[in-house]
Structure 1
């Protein structure tokens, strides 16, 4: 899974990264009970919180998988970037 594809993060993956539900709950700022109530397929919002907590904890983001290649993708450039001026 990539950092940009949070919708597909599963609870078991978040638990794998933090080892226990208690550690995950502390890192994200919720109770262990709240973590136990999360659905197996996490929402984008919860996935984002898990990623942010991992980054704050110093966990290498590569643990979630490689980022997708953006080579040749100009969608993130500012409007007009890459155009030659007249």
Structure 2
């Protein structure tokens, strides 16, 4: 997959997830999603990477692995994007 497309998809999904959890009432989840979004923006190598990250190093890596899996498969990406927009 093209790395630019992958990065764009990850960023879109991260923003949609952040907006989705902001509608809820769980401040811990909101903060976790905010940290994931900031991590993607601070470290572009994570934004364009296709490899899995060890969740033992940083707790946000678990969310990044999920974003990565959803962004790499078109069917998962479109269904997740549709669900988060509704």
TM-score (norm 2): 0.29
Q: Which has the higher helix share?
A: 2
Larger Rg belongs to: 1
